[in-house]
Amino acid sequence: MKETPSESLPQGVHRRIFGHLPDGRAVEAVTLVNTQGASATVIAYGATLQSMIVPNREGTLADVTLGHATLAEYLANTAYFGSSVGRVANRIAGGRFVLDGVAHQAPCNNGPNALHGGPGGFDKALWEIVAVGDAPAPFVRLAHTSLDGDQGFPGTLQVTAEYALGDDGALAITYRAKTDRPTLVNMTNHAYWNLAGEGAAASAMDHVLTIPAEHFLPTDETAIPTGDFAPVAGTPFDFREPRVIGAHVRDTCHDQIRIGRGYDHNWVIARERADAPRLLARLAHPPSGRMLEVLSTEPGVQFYSGNFLDGSLIGKRGQAYGMGDGVALEPQMFPDTPNRPEFGSIRLEPGEEYCHRLVFAFSADG
């Protein structure tokens, strides 16, 4: 793959061609490296986090995010590994919503519902790399234009995604959007994590998870929230104290575990967005000492325990990904918010700016 001459790039930034789309367009990859040797690689297809390499307690580096080694695999699969998803992350019931009295229909790509912006969402777009730099940390900024009517959503939306890797081990992602007509926006990153290392023999089910939430959102059989804010106390959904994920992930005595085939629900951290990122979840892998804290300005976090990984997708080290080999923690507004006024609003007006600030902060215990 062709490399950009290093002398033409800022410190800690490497740029290369990752592959080509069927129409011949090049898909670039940008790798951000901090002074501790950790790195994050972002590809322009889907503004996707393709690799995240961080140390364990001994300083040994490992890639801890699931993904593919080739562009062809990303094009062929729809697991959203590391993708930037939108316009609307998660599900819209029936793909239907109403804005200003006008009904709109997004294509349904998840049973009877629209998921992650539809089959041609942001994860399937070739974003443009518009800036790279190293101040105050190595970063890459990507941009995408979603035209009026794209996937059934009104308004032309101008979107950016910026990744920055600090020397403290924090990968900061900032999503911004502006529109020329009232529309809906709810973006997030869909990385899957295994802190033992992508392709490790151990699944992520031995990870210890903390989610500081008093309530979660139960769903119907199609994964659409019922509208209830259910207390987590006394249920397998109580992660207020650290809990091993695998302890109850197959506890089908609880109807919601049966419906999701594990965890695939939104936890309620708050009812409103915040001005600054706050803690939504903490994931720890005791054998390696690696820890991930997820912080965001959004009020909810979708925890997905990799229930539908079935061995058909091949990872970067050649291993088949099976059930529970990675988990996703996706900060966002609540699923189906357009049809649930009690959940708040994801409406964006002309003249406003949507901004979601998300941080994946990595560390290792002593």
Active-site residues, by number, are: 190, 330
CA dist., res. 13 & res. 133, Å (int): 7
What values do phi and psi take at 344, rounded to 5? 110, -145
DSSP β-bridge partners for residue 14? 31
Pull the structure tokens for residue 210: 């903390």
Is residue 118 a contact partner of residue 107, using CB atoms and an 8 Å limit? yes
Long-range contacts of 52-60 (CB under 8 A, 24+ apart): 52/171, 52/191, 52/360, 52/362, 54/169, 54/290, 54/362, 54/364, 55/290, 55/364, 56/288, 56/289, 56/290, 56/364, 57/288, 57/289, 57/290, 57/364, 57/365, 57/366
C-alpha–C-alpha distance, residues 253 and 274, integer Å: 36
Contact 264, 344 (CB under 8 A): no
* Run of H or E residues at 260: helix 255-260
Amino acid in the structure at residue 336: D
Q: In which element (H, E) is residue 72 found?
A: helix 71-76
Cβ atoms of 364 and 37 closer than 8 Å: no
Spatial CB neighbours of 339, under 8 Å, sequence gap ≥ 6: 92, 93, 96, 97
Count the neighbouring beta carbons within 10 Å of the beta carbon of residue 347. Answer: 16
Q: Exposure of 36 by Cβ count < 10 A (0-12 exposed, 13-18 middle, 19+ buried)?
A: middle
How many beta carbons lie within 10 A of that of residue 59, not counting itself?
9
First to last CA, the chain: 38
Rg of the chain (C-alpha set): 19
